[in-house]
Structure 1
Amino acid sequence: MASDRCCRFLEILLAIVLPPLGVFLHYGCCSMEFCICLLLTLLGYVPGIIYAIYVLVATQPDRYYRRGYSEPLV
């Protein structure tokens, strides 16, 4: 639990310094969130920071949970 808070803190800190990097660490390289953040950062640094922090804070922790893997195969 403490490591989750530490990772979240580092992602937010990196999102302030370099917004696409914080989003990249959370979502990966070819995600829609990363592309939007990269575009906003190229258009303006402050919109990139605002979007990156919003995406990192407003996401649900169970985003990567998939229903199909918990059901038994028949």
Structure 2
Amino acid sequence: MGVVSAILLILITIIFPPLGVFAVAGCGPDLLINICLTILGYLPGHLHAFYIEYVYYERSEQAVAGRIASERAPGIYSERVQGTVYGATSNSA
């Protein structure tokens, strides 16, 4: 993952956390949870969004290195973030 894309994603998440989650996890339960947390308070939305982004970047770096995480990350429902979707495609690119 590029440093520029990570910085841009962090800036987007600081401004509007659900948009950062959408960019990483797509439209699904994680986005809905983040929208609800952002409505309840700005800080919980940020914490959830940054957690999802951290797991996404950590798992994608592990996949590039050839290590696949054996356990699911708690509280994340997107298969894209968990690493089951990009694990096979990152080696072919």
Tell me the TM-score normalized by structure 2.
0.60
Residues paired across the two proteins, number: 64
2:32 and 2:50 map into 1 onto residues whose CA distance is 15
> What is aligned with 1:65?
86
In structure 2, what residue type is equivalent to 1:56?
E
Q: Which has the larger radius of gyration?
A: 1
Q: What fraction of aligned residue pairs are identical, expressed as a percent?
A: 38
Instruction: Provide the alpha-carbon RMSD of the alignment.
Output: 1.7
List alignment gaps of at least 5 residues for structure 1.
68-74
- Give the 4+ runs in structure 1 shifted more than 3 A: none
Is the contact made by 1:23 and 1:33 (CA closer than 8 Å) also made in structure 2? yes
Match of 2:29 among 21, 27, 32: 32
List alignment gaps of at least 5 residues for structure 2.
64-82, 89-93
Tell me the TM-score normalized by structure 1.
0.72
